[in-house]
Amino acid sequence: MDLTIRRVGDALVLRPELTRLDASVALTFKDRIGKVISEGEKHLVLDLARIDFVDSSGLGALVALLKRLGSDGSLALAALRPPVQRLLALTRLDRVFRIHETVEGAERSLASDRPA
Amino acid sequence: MNMGDSPVSDVAPLALSLSISSSLTLASATMAAIGRLLTELLGDERGERFALACTEAVNNAIIHAHGRDAEQIVSVSLQVSNNEITASIIDQGEGLALSERLAALPENPYESESEMPESGLGLWLIRRGADRVEYLRDATGNRLVLTLRLHS
């Protein structure tokens, strides 16, 4: 699974180069981003612009990463496509993830959250 | 052609049947194609939910019934008749005892943030994606039948 990584301040913006976050790739996705967390990163933005399908395994991976970061870290989701937005609303996970319409919006939010 | 949320009004008789090896990679590609067909037929939101339900059923068969044994076969069929679409997902694996689990599903996927599940949402999504879900078990394996009205 290809993952494009970009640093913005003390956060990383991660873009999985996938169109489907499903059972065929969810474990790899979780392990790959889990490795980033293991390396000490606490604030992550997931750019999901390419992903138009998520299944229960993909949702489980996102929840696992959110739990792993815990209260000391943050996991924001950005650039969700309509099918993914609708799934997060259906499962009420839109209430627990910080969601941004665009990656740029997520970056601005990160900047305003941190002291200059 | 993308029909958006306006489903096809004059759905021609439709029947599709295919069998795949118990591979999650193969299932992903197959269900992506079926998902496009279902959103054309049912509109974006209902098509996405039904496609997701079918995908969860196929993944259940591969992971739980067949234990990811790629030698096993999962069959998927779609049929439109009587203003309904029916999807049947058939495997030859271990019994999944889904009737009891379907009957016990809660209305909400979880009750509080601390209970957010890392797994186990699949059956809930199957139930939410279809009007009716029937589970049949016989000597040859499991059959999950999902039915949805063509028009909401």
CB proximity A67 to B under 8 Å = yes
Which residues in chain B have Cβ-Cβ distances shorter than 8 Å to A25? 28
Contacts of A62 in chain B (CB under 8 A): none
Instruction: State the smallest CA–CA distance between residue A95 and chain B in angstroms.
Output: 9
CB contact under 8 A, B27 and A60: no
> Which residue out of B26, B52, B58 would a mutagenesis test of the A interface target, given it has the greatest number of A Cβ atoms within 10 Å?
B52
Q: Does B49 touch chain A (CB under 8 A)?
A: yes
Residue of chain A nearest B35, judged by CA positions: A53
Reported as a single tens digit per residue, the pLDDT across A65-99 is 999 999 999 999 999 999 999 999 999 999 999 99
Q: Which of B28, B32, B121 sits opposite A91 (nearest CB)?
A: B121
The gap from C-alpha A23 to its chain's centroid, in whole angstroms, comes to 17
Q: Residue B55: list chain A partners with CB under 8 A.
A: 22, 55
Inter-chain contact A55–B56, Cβ cutoff 8 Å? Answer: yes
Q: What pLDDT digit, counting tens, does each position of B14-32 carry?
A: 899 999 999 999 999 999 9
What mean pLDDT value characterizes chain A?
Answer: 94
User: Are A55 and B45 inside 8 Å of each other by CB?
Assistant: no
Q: Provide the mean pLDDT of chain B.
A: 90
Q: With 0-12 CB in 10 A as exposed, 13-18 as middle and 19+ as buried, what is B91?
A: buried
A7 vs B: CB within 8 A: no
Model confidence pLDDT, tens digit, residues B40-62: 999 999 999 999 999 999 999 99
- At B7 the pLDDT is 55
Q: Which of A56, A91, A57, A95 has the alpha carbon at shortest distance from A77?
A: A95
Please, which pLDDT band fits residue B12 given cuts at 50, 70 and 90?
low
Confidence of residue A110 (pLDDT cuts 50, 70, 90): confident
Task: Give the contacts of A49 (CB within 8 A, at least 6 positions apart).
Answer: A15, A78, A79, A81, A103
Q: d(Cα A88, Cα B108) in Å, to the nearest integer?
A: 13
- Report the alpha-carbon distance of residue B125 to residue A57 in Å, rounded: 11
B8 burial via Cβ count (<10 Å: 0-12, 13-18, 19+): middle
Rounded to 5°, angle at Cα B65 from B64 and B68: 70
Per the CB < 8 A criterion, the answer to whether B55 and A55 are in contact is yes
The answer to whether residue B4 scores a pLDDT higher than 50 is no
pLDDT-based confidence at residue A114 (cuts at 50, 70, 90): low
Residue A112's pLDDT is 72
Residues of A in contact with B109 (CB under 8 A): 91-92
